């Protein structure tokens, strides 16, 4: 039997979630008519969420010139958000961006976004280009992977200490708890059971603006726990 916990309602909006995924993504899948490419390090995301592809960048791998997509083509970009720590079910979200390629400076191609869809274990939701342009990525988006892996590699007992804060609100039988996600407002643990998992999101006393403050917020949780701000997971069954 598989289980999965739902995220507390105080989480980011769908548009903010998409912007966060785009901000930390280093690779994407590009589909055009009859062609598909896996691009690594060949895209940038602008302040308004505009995506630019540098397919002619000679210093990076790119499609063969005869196969390179051209301006005016319809295109689909897919981003996969994978948890940086070794847990069950590491795919946290998928973002699909549909649009049309148009010329950009330096021979690059920009995607004129028409449609955006966010998929998570809890379901899918559509985000309009206007919502995407207004939203901002989480301040810790780019640093999250390094922070979580450091926490696991250097502070192995922290997850168990954080889990203890929830007390009886976590169902019995947890085999392992691993840091699974980190944002400016919280840290999430993946609690694994013999037959599934659930997620526990612990809210910080105050938002963290950078990596240094995130570390301080975790220390505050351990030294000055505030039970009213801890959200226990709820289980759902497929």
Output the pLDDT for position 135.
Answer: 97
- What average pLDDT does this structure show over 37-56? 91
Residue with the bigger pLDDT between 224 and 186: it is: 186
Q: Is the pLDDT of residue 237 over 60?
A: no
Q: What's the confidence (pLDDT) of residue 156?
A: 82
Tell whether the model's pLDDT for residue 132 goes beyond 70. Answer: yes
Instruction: Provide the whole-model pTM.
Output: 0.84
CA proximity to 202, closest of 233, 171, 168, 157 = 233
pLDDT of 225: 55
The H-or-E segment that residue 158 falls in is helix 158-166
Structure-model confidence comparison of residues 125 and 65, the more confident one: 125
User: Could you tell me if 55 and 75 are in contact, meaning their C-beta atoms sit under 8 angstroms apart?
Assistant: no
81-110 b/e (C-beta count within 10 Å ≥ 16 → b): bebbbebeeeebbbbbbbbebeebeeebbb
Task: Convert the pLDDT of each residue in 176-221 to its tens digit.
Answer: 999 999 999 999 999 999 988 989 999 999 999 999 999 999 999 9
| List of domains in the chain | 8-134 (2.30.110.10), 144-236 (3.20.180.10)
Joined together, the tokens standing for residue 47 give: 């302040």
Reported as a single tens digit per residue, the pLDDT across 18-44 is 999 999 999 999 999 878 999 999 999
């Amino acid at each position: 039997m598989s289980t999965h916990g739902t995220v507390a309602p105080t989480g980011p909006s769908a548009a903010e979630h998409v912007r966060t995924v785009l901000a930390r993504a280093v690779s994407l899948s590009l589909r055009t008519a009859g062609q598909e490419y896996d691009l690594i390090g060949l895209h940038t995301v602008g302040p308004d969420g505009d995506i630019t592809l540098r397919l002619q960048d000679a210093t990076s791998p790119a499609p063969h010139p005869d196969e390179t997509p051209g301006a005016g083509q319809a295109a689909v970009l897919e981003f996969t958000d994978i948890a940086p720590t070794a847990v069950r079910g590491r795919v946290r979200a998928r973002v699909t961006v549909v649009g049309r390629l148009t010329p950009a400076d330096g021979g690059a191609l920009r995607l004129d976004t028409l449609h955006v869809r966010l998929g998570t274990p809890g379901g899918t939701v559509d985000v309009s280009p206007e919502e995407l342009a207004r939203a901002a990525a989480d301040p810790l988006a780019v640093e999250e992977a390094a922070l979580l892996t450091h926490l696991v590699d250097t502070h192995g007992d922290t997850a168990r200490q954080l889990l203890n804060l929830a007390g009886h609100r976590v169902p019995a039988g947890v085999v392992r708890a691993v840091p699974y996600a980190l944002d400016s407002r919280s840290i999430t643990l993946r609690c694994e059971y013999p037959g599934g998992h659930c997620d526990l999101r612990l809210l910080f006393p105050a938002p963290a603006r950078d990596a240094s403050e995130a570390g301080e917020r975790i220390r505050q949780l351990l030294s000055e726990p505030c039970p009213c701000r801890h959200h226990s997971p709820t289980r759902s069954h497929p």
